A = this chain, B = another copy of it.
């Protein structure tokens, strides 16, 4: 590999001068500048980012720890984060925790070891122990989608309270009284909040907890559908559990909404294509990713970004048996 030394030699200057030219520092003569740049060009020199980062203590890299990369919700967030970061000259390392707290902790540590300039985390569980480590190293941190108790850092998330209230209303209007909820894990903030907020709607609920993944949606749907007096509608609190539930209902030959109504938290492009189209609570996914990246960059810049709450909204489509909803 060609190093800055080679370039310096080739251009007949010192390494310091090469560095200055490449970083636009001070003001080298126009003549030395072109000579250095010519040498860089000729040798195909590219600075070693590791060495540079070691010296400057900055990597222009953000770490993003995602709960589950195959969940399209998180994939879209990852994409948005990456786009926003790139627009600001930052690179993103995406780590996939697979909804495991252990793996998440491991990744956080790895990313800290690599000296990322900031960390964006969608916490897998409520366990806040890993946060101490991040704070001990003074690395800017922003929580995304989920929060953890006692987190002293900015949080970016969707507020589904209104949408879930609207959903409860819509279900009641459509004649449902007793609703099965396929809830998220009780040890995640989104798992709890969505359930609580929906519970305020005053419907009689039968709650089964899943883990935000497809199989758990199937299992929960099976459990609810097998109940002696089956709920007349199901609400899955995440798109993957919604998918699992749909698969299970299909296996059982239960028709939506004739046999059982269904609504899902978090919209996906294929929900409108089903027959009937699925009623959902749509989250501003892309905006969440962007906002989180912006908050983190602000934090890195020394500012104090406020928490961000973006509203989710109900999209009625027919899978709950609405007389004929709006939107």
Contacts and interface: CB of A to CB of B under 8 A. Distances in A.
A278 to B, nearest CB: 10
Contact of A273 (B1, B48, B274): B274
A35 interface: no
A28 interface: no
B70 A70 contact: no
A75 interface: yes
B94 A94 contact: yes
Contact of A79 (B70, B76, B115, B214): B70
A133 B46 CA distance: 11
B247 A115 contact: no
Contacts of A49: 110, 113-115
Contacts of A95: 82, 91
Given A69-B78, A75-B70, A82-B96, A115 B50 contact: yes
A112 interface: yes
Interface stretch (A51-59, A167-175, A179-187, A301-309): A51-59
Contacts of A91: 93, 95, 110, 114
Interface in A225-282: 243, 246-247, 250, 268-270, 272-275
A72 interface: yes
B44 A48 contact: no
A136 interface: yes
Interface string A112-146: 11110000000000000000010011000000000
A109 interface: yes
A47 interface: yes
A105 to B, nearest CB: 13
Contact of A269 (B59, B112, B243, B272): B243
Q: Which 8 A-B pairs have the closest CB atoms?
A: A49-B113, A94-B94, A275-B275, A270-B270, A75-B75, A49-B114, A50-B54, A69-B79
Given A1-B137, A54-B54, A79-B96, 7 more contacts: A48-B115, A75-B75, A92-B94, A243-B273, A246-B273, A250-B273, A270-B270
24 contacts: A46-B109, A48-B54, A48-B115, A49-B110, A49-B113, A49-B114, A50-B50, A50-B59, A69-B78, A70-B75, A72-B75, A75-B75, A78-B96, A79-B96, A82-B96, A91-B93, A91-B114, A92-B94, A214-B269, A243-B269, A243-B273, A247-B269, A250-B273, A274-B274
